[in-house]
A and B are shown apart, each in its own frame.
Chain A
Amino acid sequence: MTKKSFRIKGAGRLTPARTARFTFDGKTYTAYEGDTVASALLANGVHLMGRSFKYHRARGVLSAGAEEPNALIDVARDAARRQPNVRASVQDVFDGAIIRSQNRWPTLAFDTGAINNLLSPFFAAGFYYKTFMWPKEAWAKLYEPIIRRAAGLGVAPKEDDPDHYANRFAHCDVLVAGAGVAGLTAALSAAETGAEVILVDERAEVGGALLFDTSTMIDGRPGYDWAQDVLSRLKAMANVTVLTRTTAFGYYTHNFIGLAERVTDHLPRPGKHLPRERLWQVRAKKVIMATGAIERHMVFANNDRPGIMLASAARLYLNHYGVAVGEKIGVYTAHDSAYEAAIDLKHAGVEIAAIVDCRTHPGEAVVSAARALGIEVLTGHSVLDTAGRLRVSSMTVAPNGGNGKRRIAIDALLMSGGWTPSVHLFSQSRGKLKFDKAKDRFLPGLHVQDGVSIGACNGTDDLPALLAEAAAAGGGTLSVSGSSLYGWTGGMIGAAEGAGPETAVKAFVDFQHDVTAKDIRLAVREGMQSIEHIKRFTTNGMASDQGKLSNMHGLAIAAEMLGKDIPEVGLTTFRAPYTPVTYGTLIAHSRGDLFDPARKTPLHDELATQGAEFEDVGNWKRAWYFPRRGEDMHQAVNRECRTARETAGIFDASTLGKIEVVGPDAAKFLNLLYTNAWDTLKPGKCRYGIMTREDGFIYDDGVVGRLTEDRFHVTTTTGGAPRVLAHMEDYLQTEFPDLKVWLTSTTEQWAVIAVQGPKARDIIAPLVEGLDLSNEAFPHMSVAECTVMGVPARLFRVSFTGEIGFEINVPADYGASVWKAIWERGQALGACLYGTETMHVLRAEKGYLIVGQDTDGTVTPDDAGYGWAVSKKKPDFVGIRGLQRPDLIRENRKQLVGLLTKDPTEVLEEGGQIVADPNQPKPMTMLGHVTSAYWSETLGRSIAIALVAGGRARMGETLYVPMKDKTIAVEVTDMVFFDKEGGRIHG
């Protein structure tokens, strides 16, 4: 079967020799390389490309650019590489592309959803606020699911995206957004001064309007040729980066611009090394916005049928892609520029049915040029309606305000309501727009960042003026001359003839969301006066094109209805992004392993070799437990606990935060930052310290060792390390800057191997040189510098298990080697490796608290039973005043206590809530909660720690932990469950 081609021989700039094949809804089509999906389909005579959001009306492509509201398609290479909601007017065709239409069932031509169109009188703007309320449950159960299914456009991908994306931070002197006449001129002007320039354009080719506007001459040449010449000059300059297929999507604070570069979406078989898209995060000294203008449609009855499109789009399809959008084309315009489309098409041999111009006195030059070609020009006329089911077939034309309707057969209708300056980036930069009343448009007012708007987006209409403005913006001395046939101003905004307030026609303002002029009037009738309310009530401008075509029309219709001037009604703020940006692009490298750094200790690989299961603690991977064959977690933990208490256990404590506090005022500083007193601590000794914030609540804890008079080795919790150091630095730099002390993070300098248990000393002794490890010489809470396996080490005699314990700190690179030797000796003596879970159990048996688990930022040292750690003698420390506030010294505060379940086999749930009266109806009075709960293998029963109101006064009391299916009785005890006398720790 041969298909009719709408390709015009000799027209356009594509090369017929290079073709690509693609499918659209299962049918195969041929395109030229360089075609967009829209131009390729149009070349094949296909106009029907989509269905609208609400009424499922048949829609064709309206534009040839990023403003496209109708022709949204699904583009796929394969099942995983599938992208919904792509603008057919922007997507390049590539060989093998699988294109599907959206929001229709079963087919694009026959869509059952179109029933909504018949029901549209019911579905007026905001109708859903007024109904679906009865019965009460029906909204969520019945109505909402129906509405949700009908709404939405494309179908989200079902598979993980196999493509990758990249990021680049960049700096430049000048960033130029838009490579049309103005942007190219400005970029060249700037580049010639030697400035670092980045020039971006969203299209595949530079030129902007010159791509369709073949009548403009610049420097004596056709504009397009001039543009390509400027491009090659720019590309040859080392200080210039030209990025095409790149959208400047967001203009953020302090001249920070986000760019999205599409690298592979146009390639048939992209190399695996290529990122699909690249995010550029650019900091520019100056931003030149040369973003042009967008042609408006005309708002009249049934202005949305396939075949109806913007005049400039038809011109681009002809002059760039060599495609005629129809065989008998009508034009409906309020602006001279549309005549050029008719003239170009006529020259290409296409019949122009008529140019209908709602103005009585259009530009004489264009009218006479059109008439000279034999085109019928009807001035002071309007198109009142159109007909045609899946393609426009006729337009009804009448003189303004008069009778004499005439129906003219057409297969395409080109519209132009004039041009709206693209002030999106300027608005995003937080510049305030000013209304140009004479020309009915918003223009950039004062630029509040280092930016400047030039050309059409700045309302500069006259080409010589534009060129001068652009050259000046670039800062150079470039001089470019040019001339064009018409300016960009004029046209109309708001409803056209026949779509006024007295009518009930569907004159679309926002195509994608099916917002009509009458919807906007309804919003006003219902009391919506601010444009923001009107927008939200009607959803005008909230579709995926974000109002690029609809905003000004909506505003004008609302202003007319309200009897106000346009600026009084306001303008909605333009938000980033200018066009939608793929999440993958914004994420760039941050996925998989690079999503968030997984910090691994120097011993990690050794632990993994020994079969460790790991858990996430902050960014760290910590060994959780070491299951042997056939063991589950509880069996492994029970074995580890038992072995540690009976023999010894070996534990990787490297993640513990470490801060070296050095200087003559080190002790003085620690006195201020911890609740304890430090000047009494002698070199070679350690002390457990508690840190509170100024509010008196526990912030962190850890053992602090004094190595010499002026050097402390401070440890923090694993998760607390960065914030504790920041907290210390804050006080040091801001409140106590005169203290002679410095802080250095040494968390990662040391690999820390904890050996705990009765045989701990036996295990490490042979590896340690230069230190007497006996109880007498090196008692509990000692620290010393020594040599372990020939490397300088810091040895702590500390315990978080209640057993005799050592923590060996060796320089990190030696950690694995020392660990292996210790494990070898440990194995020989019957020791085990243990992880964080066993560590938790062992410390709970001893009633040692874990900040962040047993405390939560609302617990004072006294609440935790550590009142002894708060110095009563110091005149000052951080937290001294906060601790004295009324609520912190009141009776009945929650205090940490032990809990023993009446049934010793019952292990409480961490997070279980505690009550005194289990039979109280809800809401119950909760006394506190279980913070830690474990099976204690050592004790042969469960144990728990809890925060309980007035807990220390409740010793022996029975309380209850009501669970979903049962209530657990518990007895309040002290927190030390094992070795209450504490003898074991001293060996």
Chain B
Amino acid sequence: MTKENLIKQGAIWAFIAVELIFFTVMGDILSVTSKSFMDFENMLLLLKQSAPIGIIALGMTIIMVNGNIDLSVGATFALSAVVLLDSFSWPFMAAIGDWAIPLAWFFALATGLILGAINGLIVWKTGVDAFIVTLGSMLGYRGLVFMYNGEQPTSHLNWTLVDFAELQFLGLHTATWFLLLTALGLWLLMTRTVHGRNAYAIGNNREAAVNAGIRVGPHFLINFMLIGFLAALSAVVFYSESGSVNPNDGTLYELWAITAVVLGGTKLTGGYGSIVSTLGGVIAIQLLRKGLGHIGADTETVNLVIGLILITVLFLDRQLNRQGKEELKT
């Protein structure tokens, strides 16, 4: 069993290692710049650049361990960002100087929490499948984004905020700290707390969890609020630095986040998954993008390669989990 787990959890890191070696070697041959791919600074950037989707993907892990899915995270990300940047222009906010910053963060995070809560409540109270609920709210929330500012980008460039976001504490960028702290927090949640263990139990055998008296509805609600919060956190981290949000920002983030979670080995049916492996999945994707850019692959190749790699990983995972020839052929 431990050996199995080692293969399962180690696979993503092995994949990352392969990517690193491949891009370093290919980069030396193909890249026009003399900088090596495996440059320390570049690796720090890698972590930083993984943050926007990474923070969301980490939250998606607990949702998927539950056996649910959230397709609305991209729209939640955008709406929280709009609230974050727009709130700076509210009259009372302008009056309080830099104190507006934490308040704006609070508004954005609260937005995420509320949007997540709406999803969670609908899933809980109506019993409609999370896929459908969040497919709907993915459209609905995006509509709200457009409604909020009439299709225009929302901008507020606050240099204090940018300076904070660009800070490198102990060498790591602010965004990296948020990513790592989120990962640590969620890892503790999933492995050390009753809520986290219940998440596995529910995803693994919902009936059993219900029979054991775990209140599945509120549990879902909390998790949807959590991912709403994390989508907002991701927006806070990213837009503190960039200061302007287009209404279309965050589209397809849900698909990238799901991809990262699946690459990390979380079961789509729920009940199995790990935060650390999701972090691996996130890094693997960012590495792929970065590396393909580094060796000069063009847009079509990037699309093709990312799509095929996803399928290949799924295929390999299936092969690893086969029971051999004795398997029932159903």
Decide whether A and B assemble into one complex: no
- The residues of B with any CB-CB pair to A shorter than 8 Å are none
- The residues of A with any CB-CB pair to B shorter than 8 Å are none
